[in-house]
Chains A and B, each alone.
Chain A
Amino acid sequence: MTTTAKVAGILLGAALCTLVIAGSRVPWTPVPDGSAAIRLSWRAVLPVVEECREPTADEVAHLPSHMRPAEICTGSPITFRLLFLLDGAVLLDELLVPGGSRSQRPVHVYHEFRVAPGTHRIEVELGPENAEVATAAGATTTSLDETVRLDPLDIVLITRVDGALVIRQSGLEAAPTRF
């Protein structure tokens, strides 16, 4: 093997490795249009209307004594409706239905909308579908109506804290931007 081939080999090896390393740092702009985003995200355990009764003698007869329940309850879920409006236009109209056999699983709200930077009016309403049943179970409607300013790449997060809808934005701690 000639010295020229050796040197060329080392140079080619170095060039190929440099190419690989260049591929390991490719500049990329994930949001080229510089848009902003609004997120809705929270977890909630929705109230359930429970009806309980004492078990009949037949129902407990075949159960060992330590497994006999004092009462048998059936739960019917309260379906909530989530409405999200951006500048008066409905972007989301969703029914929140808890899962699980007894409808006791928490629901997860998780949506992201890309929006143009600027000032936007945000309206969110979260309330039970069937007002009568809901009132009986003590379920109430919560809402939020705010105007926020979003710079390019800003994110506004709408979440729920202690049952209330709140806005979070980078650099604003928990306080929403108010106008």
Chain B
Amino acid sequence: MAPVDAWFNRLYTWKHNPLYQSGTIAVAMLAIMLVTGLYLVIFYRIGTPYESVVRISEQAWAGRWMRSLHRYAADVAVVAIAVHALRMFAQGRSWGPRTLAWVSGLFLLFLMYVCGWTGYVMVWDVQAQIMAVEGARVLDALPLFSAPIGRAFVGESPLPRAFFFLNLFLHIAVPIGVALALWMHVSRLARPALLPPKGLLWGSTGVLLALSLLWPAPLDAPADLLALPSRVSVDWFYGFWLPFSRSIPPWAAWAAILALGGIVMLAPVWTRPRESERVPKSFVKERFCTECDQCTQDCPYDAIRMIPRSDGRPGRVANVNPALCVSCGICAGSCAPMGVGPPLRTGRDQLDRVGTFIAEHTWGPRDVILVSCDHAASPAATGTALEGIPAFPVPCAGNLHSSVVEYLVRSGAGGVLVVACPPRDCWSREGPRWLTERLFHERPAELKERVDGRRVRVVHAAEAEVGRLVEAVDAFRGRVLAMDIAAAETDIAVDLECEIPADEVEV
């Protein structure tokens, strides 16, 4: 996936990379389907379904492309959902507090398929007939119905209006379920990004609209229940199962659906790392907390709230809800007094680590030091290009406490370049965004004014964008060399804002 990401970043920039925006593209497609669907339903007739779709397709000015856009958006949505789900899986975002998002995501996908099935049946052409007949065949294998529903499609009598009414009702009602499931899907996220950036939103809509005009959706011959279907054009995204439904017995189809569904549904169980490999949940050192509220604002999972203090002092203190915390560590970078974060990742732990790092390396005012996020382009992957440049690793650039950057600058380095993931692809959602705000836009815990801002840079380079990293290092090194101010300081005393009693220092 990484090389493809890098290619897409080149063509679209990370901000508009459709792979990073797959979830929001799916939402945008749902919105397009809603708007076009409202138009189509005005002209659809349950008494003469096929004829009404023919009439819609004959409306050269609106109906034809509205219908095509509705269908194409549904197809793009399926592709976008698949990419989105794969990314979440590949990034290990499928367990713990994300279980709700995972399971509701699968439910959303299921609802999309119900919507697609009913939508195609509405047309009542040959493809619709196949979908209805094969769908009924598979459903009839379940001991749910007193009469086989497949009998409705044998041609004994014409399909009643009630069938098309029920189908239309489902096609309209299920999207309400989609909206509710989507709400649940993002309910654990703070500030969920629901729509893609404008350029991508209008660009993708424009391309689909152009294709709808140039290559309108096909319409097969009308359904004939007393004839086997001849050649049809099938929507592969919604009808991929049709070619197999006849070749395996329905019970085997159900066994396959249940096995596959079960495996994917249980991903939160089998993708969860072993207890010993899991990063522990964040915690708050109550005595350091100054009630600034910043971590509650920055936590991408709304896992922190303020509660009354328990140490007898007046006021409130931050409190992490372990059931919601994904251990992303972003709060560690939020807290000026370094009172919150997962064990061994708090600002204080970072300072300890960077202290050792500084002691182990030597550099001068012309040298650049890297601080690199574990998920971004790795300096080690650049071969010899960045050889000799010290790199301080952090699990996520969003964890980075600004004091660490200050410490590095004031230890005499010419400049500190933070290598972060593209913001839309942060495994912890908002890491690079808060990092930039903290380093350059005074978001607490901000980089102090006393640090020369010209000596600090951030580069967004995805895992496979090693070339971009090398370029950024070269450019930054050039800028550092051009500065004639000496950077070296001695006698660094990092201001921790709160005094740490020796017995409370986390090791």
Contact = CB atoms under 8 A, between A and B. Distances in A.
B75 A23 contact: yes
Interface stretch (A72-80, A141-149, A151-159): A151-159
A112 B234 CA distance: 23
Given A17-B76, A20-B75, A30-B130, A5 B229 contact: no
A12 B7 CA distance: 11
B1 interface: no
Contact of B204 (A1, A13, A18): A13
A66 interface: no
A13 B203 contact: yes
B76 A20 contact: yes
Interface stretch (A37-45, A53-61, A81-89, A128-136): A37-45
A110 B236 CA distance: 29
A30 B227 contact: no
Contacts of B357: none
A48 to B, nearest CB: 18
A5 to B, nearest CB: 5
Interface stretch (B211-219, B340-348, B450-458): B211-219
Given A13-B207, A155-B155, A157-B155, A28 B232 contact: yes
A12 B4 CA distance: 13
B12 A168 contact: no
B233 A157 contact: no
Given A21-B72, A43-B151, A108-B148, A29 B230 contact: yes
Given A5-B11, A168-B155, A27 B233 contact: yes
Contact of B215 (A21, A26, A110, A155): A21
Interface residues of B, number: 46
Given A24-B217, A30-B242, A159-B156, A18 B211 contact: yes
Q: What bracket does the count of chain A residues touching chain B fall in?
A: 35 or more
A37 B156 contact: no
Given A10-B203, A17-B211, A110-B154, A28 B233 contact: yes
Contacts of A154: 226-228
Contacts of A28: 231-234, 242-243
Interface of B: 10-13, 16, 18, 71-72, 75-76, 79, 130, 146-148, 150-151, 154-156, 203-204, 207-208, 210-211, 215, 217-218, 224-237, 242-243, 246
